[in-house]
Amino acid sequence: MDGHEAPPPPPPPPASTNIPPAPPMPVPPVYGGWVATTQAPNVPMQLATPWRRLGAYVIDALVFLPVWIGVFFGLFFHDFANDPLFDEARAGIQPSDAQIQAFVNRLQGKFFVYALVVGALYGVYNVLFTKLRGQTLGKMAVGVKVVQIYDGSLPTWGNAGLRWALPTIVGLVPFYGSIGVLLIYLWMFWDPNKQGLHDKLAKTIVLRVFPGQRL
């Protein structure tokens, strides 16, 4: 009112510089000197759990079931349809234990051929998909992938073959083969890298793969 302008308002207080620090980035796991990284932002690299891997085995078995059934019928249909043992059974005559044992003995060679054929076919499927994609159809379905432990690349032909060959060969051992195969796969439950013995032989690990993630 006296002709003088009012003094300007005081400047605002300086902004606080106490900015909270950003949360630490997760440290990627290290496998044999290879640092696991991912091309999907904010998606951590994880080892596949044994239960998820078991799910992949079950799906692969279901995928391959028609092949096993087809080979079985191709090899044994004629024997089951024309063997005298089944003619007697269809006529209502109860076969003796000796007749049943003789029938089994006649087919032992074919059972061995059947095991070789289905084992070889499954081996081709398993090794081919593991080498070219790191994933069988079962592994694709549950989201896991096989990689080399030392650099994260796809397995070589040799290592893909070793992963399949170890449990297959051990399973052929009479009496104790099934126990050996069980030990090979159960090993992943207590191994720090969740490796089965076949993984250790082939120098591979199995990683969890999330939708949209590329390893």
The structure tokens 């290592």 sit at 159
Express each pLDDT in 181-206 by its tens digit: 999 999 999 999 999 999 999 999 99
Please report, as a single letter, which amino acid is at residue 184: I
Please report, as a single letter, which amino acid is at residue 132: L
Express each pLDDT in 17-33 by its tens digit: 566 665 555 555 555 55
What is the reported pTM? 0.72
Sign of CA dihedral 39, 143, 197, 111: negative
Residues 118 and 206: their CA atoms lie apart, in Å, by 25
**Contact yes or no for 134/147 (Cβ under 8 A):** yes
Express each pLDDT in 38-81 by its tens digit: 444 445 578 999 999 999 999 999 999 999 999 988 888 777 77
The structure tokens 């074919």 sit at 110
